[in-house]
Structure 1
Amino acid sequence: MYLFLIETVIISLSGVMAPGALSAVTVAHGSSKSNAGLRVALGHGFVEIPLILLVYFGASNVIQSDLFQGFTRCLGGIFMLWLAAKLLRESRGDSQLDEVNQSSIRAGIILSLGNPYFLVWWATVGTSLVFKAAEFGLLGLILFAICHWLCDLVWLWILSFLAYTSGDLLGGRFESIITIVS
């Protein structure tokens, strides 16, 4: 089981460290709150843990279906375009942060639900990891979920901490770079 948990961490980091909306909002929130990444990860976990359980209890067929994938990509793509435009406007100072951006936990929930990459990752890579975890029984599933979520937690905390501490050194440049890359 130890090798599987190491594999879980390595594979999980491929999804966790990919630039995206969660990274961008974590850096944006982290510029004023060093622990914002912990809150974003908590919100993300509120979506991810039930999804892991759904896959474990048989919903993987629905998540992997062409209809679900197409719907997710279209809706998620529209959401991501809206979010990108919004972040660009806010980076220019054209608008105030709204409710989604005021709560790091809420941002983690909404951005996870609206991210097509997140659901595609779970329909493919994540599902195979859940099935492997199930080979070790309920304990394997629990340890898998903990290891995977800890990867999210640590990475998002690092991003928010760097955003918070780099404010003095780099001004808003770190946040701008991460927002553009994400």
Structure 2
Amino acid sequence: MFTEFASFFSNLFVIFSFSFFVALTGAMAPGPLLTYTIIKSAKATTRGYLMGIWIIAGHALLEMGIIVFLLLGFSFVLKNIFVVRAIGITGGLILVYFGGSILRDLYLGKISVSFLDGKSDQSGSPSETEKTGFDNPVAGGIMISMSNPYWWIWWASIGFAFMVQFEISFREWPKLIAFFLGHEAGDLIWYLIVSFLAFFGLRRLNKKAYYGILAFCGLFMILFGIYLGSSPFLKPE
């Protein structure tokens, strides 16, 4: 009895650990969600070091949905080249819009830097970027994740293969929980570190340096959006 009990929890620990490190490795790769987290954390007036929690909360909600989607047997949909291209175009446009909004707000002087000297923003006029759903970190975490076609491809290939390998299913719900919690823990750990460094690090910069980093992030979003939108068409069907 004890041996079976120990074996059961040992198996869950293995699933959790593998899921954690696979997710952590993927999270550490540069991408739009990382850039978005840096921007949101740096611009927050208070508790920006916790921004990663809210962004990953949205990210986790979306991943919960795609796991259910895959378990229901729809993995083939995400492997269809036309679906991948549609996601690529839509996601690319979203990222280009977000990056363009940042650059436009910088050009028009709508980016508040009051947090750099510890003052609160009294202007009361949000930037164009803040008027969109990107202002809410949970919604932003969902939208930015959805905009990346390689996130969908990852789940249709690596993520789904992991689930098959460890026999994760609704019936084996303890394995499903261990897999999901391990994956989200890997994302959360890294993005909390990023939020902490962005909030306390970028706030020590002067105005020009902050604008420069923000411009780089906006340009990165635009270029990455163009890449995501065009790359599915460069692959053979």
Q: TM-score if structure 2 supplies the norm length? A: 0.67
In the alignment, is residue 19 of structure 1 matched against residue 30 of structure 2?
Answer: yes
- Which amino acid letter does the alignment assign opposite residue 105 of structure 1? V
Query: Which runs of at least 4 in structure 1 moved beyond 4 Å after TM superposition?
Result: 91-95, 171-175
Cα distance between partner residues in 2 of 1:77 and 1:20: 12
State the match for 1:157 in structure 2.
192
State the match for 2:21 in structure 1.
10
Cα distance between partner residues in 2 of 1:93 and 1:23: 25
Question: Quick check: 1:37–1:156 contact (8 Å CA) kept in 2?
Answer: yes
**When the two structures are aligned, how many residues end up with a matched partner?**
182
In the alignment, is residue 98 of structure 1 matched against residue 131 of structure 2?
Answer: yes
State the match for 1:146 in structure 2.
181
- Where do 5+ consecutive residues of structure 2 fail to align? 1-10, 111-126, 222-237
Choose 1 or 2 for highest CA Rg.
Answer: 2
Residue-by-residue CA offset, 1:71-106 (whole Å, 9 max, x unaligned): 212222222222232233345555412232321111
- Where do 5+ consecutive residues of structure 1 fail to align? none
Q: TM-score if structure 1 supplies the norm length? A: 0.85
Residue-by-residue CA offset, 1:109-152 (whole Å, 9 max, x unaligned): 11112221211211221111222232583221210111001111
Bigger Cα displacement from structure 2, 22-31 vs 1-10? 1-10
- Residue 66 of structure 1, CA deviation: 2.1
Bigger Cα displacement from structure 2, 38-47 vs 154-163? 154-163
What secondary structure sits across from 1:169 in the alignment?
coil
What secondary structure sits across from 2:30 in the alignment?
coil
Bigger Cα displacement from structure 2, 1-10 vs 65-74? 1-10
2:103 to 56, 75, 88: 88
- C-alpha change, 1:52 and 1:18, in structure 2 (3 Å) is same
Q: 1:1-182 maps to which residues of 2 (within 5 A)?
A: 1=11, 2-31=13-42, 32=44, 33-92=48-107, 94-95=109-110, 96=127, 97-135=130-168, 137-171=172-206, 173=209, 176=213, 179=217
Residue-by-residue CA offset, 1:40-84 (whole Å, 9 max, x unaligned): 000111111110111122111111222222221222222222223
- Which amino acid letter does the alignment assign opposite residue 165 of structure 1? F
